[in-house]
Amino acid sequence: MQKERRPSKKSLRSLDYLNVFLADVRDGVGPYLSIYLKASANWNPAQIGLAMSASAIATVIAQTPAGALVDRLRQKRMLIVLAAVFVSIGSIAMGLFPNLPVVIGSQIMIGIAAAIFPPAITAITLGLVGHERLDRRVGRNETFNHTGNLLAATLAGLVGYFIARKAIFFLVAAMAVGSIISVRMIREREIDHELARGDAEEGEEEDKEEHQQHHEGILQLLSDRQILFFSIAVVLFHFANAAMLPLVGQELAQGKGTSDTVYMSACIIVAQLVMIPVSNLAGRFAHTARKPIFLLGFAVLPIRGVLYTFSGNPYFLVSVQILDGIAGGIFGVLSVLMVADLTKGTGRFNVTQGMLNTAIGIGAGLSNVLAGFVVKSAGYNVGFLILAAIAVVALAVFWFCVPETKTGVNRKASPQTA
């Protein structure tokens, strides 16, 4: 009989606060960087694409080692502290010195930090609540994360409009300090570090010996067809998704003065308002099945890409972000749960997350580079249509090649599972 874990209210509340503060810290200044570089530093789309991709490339390199590090180390809270410090330093540096070497260097620092946050947070979550309560807890994590994004976007719009665009960089640094305080309030003794890496839970003694024989290396995990096709689908999804909002930001930055930050904040606020209930519902419905819910997230992305070509009106562009909210809310919850399903008992939960996030980084980095050069030579509409076409391919791969992972019987850890 599996024993239910009972972490303290203090640790669970601190995890809530951590997700709120890390909302705007995980990716640094994000799409605001593209607005800042175009409107304040007069960078062209190709240069902006390179700057945006620098973070993603650093993430690609760091993700899998970061996941392995989270699996191995018990100091998961300290890893989050160090990553938050990296983001804070990088954000302040870009705000003060917006030249190419500083921006690229800072984006690399932020990319390394972005590799640490997802596996560390989900590992702490799994170590606190266990597999049985993971779906609802991940849904709650994402709900607070999107609430934090909503708060951060509102504040960013206000400081960008009333103070200066560069003030947004200091806002991110301040939120990094809040995340450091929050993670230190989670009680270390309540985190089961064996469980946090995906080992069998206490009370599953009949499976533990078998699970221990299946602790898999990276090459074995890559030979698992379910993990492989899931990663391919995710690469294509983020190839299509990552550049869409920065391109919208660049369109908004054309001839609109300081109001561009207000419009960009509105884009983010609309998406986050939708993500809050969607992520909560996704965590609840995913208790029964994963794939049908995730299919919806994949399906709305190509529609969003096509809609962006209909009009350059700021109000229309902002309204399309409703679809971003649906996809983002679903993806944040279901990606973690499907990895947990696929790796349960292997002891490789976090390194697999690292490999998945490497795939995400590859997709995001290529997306920004491709979109930057396409827009420079053919215009924004062509860029959006190419991204939409890639999103259709991502939907097809996930639909036809990735099976349902939620079953009544725990999946045995075997790299040969088809």
Residue reference for tokens 């009949």: 206
Torsion of CA 255, 258, 259, 261, to 10 degrees: 110
Cβ(328)–Cβ(407) under 8 Å?
no
Closest C-alpha to 418, from 167, 201, 126, 223 = 223
**What is the model's pLDDT at position 257?**
52
Closest C-alpha to 339, from 119, 78, 145, 81 = 119
- Phi-psi map region of 42: left, alpha, beta (phi>0 left; psi -120 to 50 alpha): left
- Give the SS3 label for residue 372: helix
Question: What does the pLDDT look like over 290-343, one tens digit per residue?
Answer: 899 999 999 999 999 999 889 878 888 888 889 998 998 898 889 888 888 887
Q: HSE of 182 in the Cβ direction (CA atoms, 13 Å)?
A: 22
Closest C-alpha to 67, from 358, 300, 303, 391 = 358
Euclidean distance between the first and the last CA atom of the chain, given in angstroms as a whole number? 29
Distance CA 324, CA 31 (A): 14
- Give the SS3 label for residue 407: coil
Segments in 1-99 forming alpha helices (H): 9-22, 31-39, 45-72, 76-96
Q: HSE of 255 in the Cβ direction (CA atoms, 13 Å)?
A: 3
Closest C-alpha to 80, from 30, 169, 19 = 19
Distance CA 94, CA 220 (A): 40
Residues listed for the chain: 418
DSSP-assigned states of every residue in 264-313: HHHHHHHHHHHHHHHHHHHHHHTTT-SHHHHHHHHHHHHHHHHHTTT---
**What is the model's pLDDT at position 153?**
72
Cβ(95)–Cβ(156) under 8 Å?
no
Q: Which residues does 219 contact at the CB level (< 8 Å), separation at least 6?
A: none
Question: Does this model's pTM top 0.75?
Answer: no
CA 386 to chain centre: 22
Question: What does the pLDDT look like over 140-150, one tens digit per residue?
Answer: 888 888 788 77
- Give the SS3 label for residue 292: helix
Question: What does the pLDDT look like over 128-183, one tens digit per residue?
Answer: 888 778 888 888 888 888 788 778 777 877 776 777 777 778 888 888 888 899 99
311 φ, ψ (degrees, to nearest 5): -160, 150
Distance CA 261, CA 380 (A): 19
DSSP-assigned states of every residue in 97-122: --SHHHHHHHHHHHHHHHHHHHHHHH
Per-residue pLDDT of the chain (418 residues; tens, 9 = 90+): 445 667 888 888 999 999 888 876 666 566 677 777 776 667 777 777 777 778 878 877 888 888 888 888 888 899 999 999 988 898 888 878 878 888 888 888 888 888 888 888 888 988 888 877 888 888 888 888 878 877 877 787 777 677 777 777 888 888 888 889 999 999 888 888 777 776 655 555 444 444 444 445 555 556 778 888 888 898 899 899 988 888 887 777 665 555 556 777 777 778 878 888 998 888 888 888 889 999 999 999 999 999 988 987 888 888 888 999 899 889 888 988 888 888 777 777 778 877 777 777 777 777 878 888 888 888 888 889 999 999 999 999 999 988 888 765 344 433 333 3
CATH number for 11-198+218-401: choose from 1.10.10.10, 1.20.1250.20, 1.10.3720.10, 1.20.1050.10. 1.20.1250.20
Helix axes 244-252, 349-378, angle to 10 degrees: 40
